[in-house]
Amino acid sequence: MHAPHRPPRHPRAWLPLLLLSQAVVAWLWWRWGWPVGLPVMLATHAVAWWGVLAPNAALYGPVLSRLSADERQVWLTIDDGPSDDTLPILDLLDAHGARATFFLVGDRAQARPDLVREIASRGHGIANHSLTHPQARFWALGPRRMRAEIEGCQRQLQAITGAAPRWFRAVVGHANPFVSTPLRDAGLARVGWNARGFDAVERDVGRVVSRIEHDLAPGAIVLLHEGAPHGRSVEMIAAVLARLEALGYRAVVPEPGTA
Q: Choose the catalytic residue: 124, 133, 174, 225.
A: 225
Q: Choose the catalytic residue: 79, 80, 85, 199.
A: 79
Listing DSSP states for 123-181 in one string gives: T-EEEE--SS--TTTGGG--HHHHHHHHHHHHHHHHHHHSS---EE--GGG---TTSHH
Q: What's the angle, vertex CA 143, arms to CA 228 and CA 11, rounded to 5?
A: 100
Euclidean distance between CA atoms 240 and 202, whole angstroms: 14
On the CB side of 243, CA atoms within 13 Å amount to 20
For residue 22, give every residue at least 6 positions away whose Cβ sits within 8 Å of its Cβ, in sequence order, or none. Answer: 41, 44
SS3 3: strand
What letter would DSSP give residue 95? H
- What are the phi and psi torsion angles at 7 (to 5°)? -60, 150
Euclidean distance between CA atoms 67 and 56, whole angstroms: 13
Residue 79 is a catalytic residue:
yes
Residue 204 is a catalytic residue:
no
| Rg of the chain in Å (alpha carbons) | 20
Find out whether the peptide bond into 177 is cis, omega within 30 degrees of 0: no
SS3 65: coil
**Catalytic positions:** 79, 225
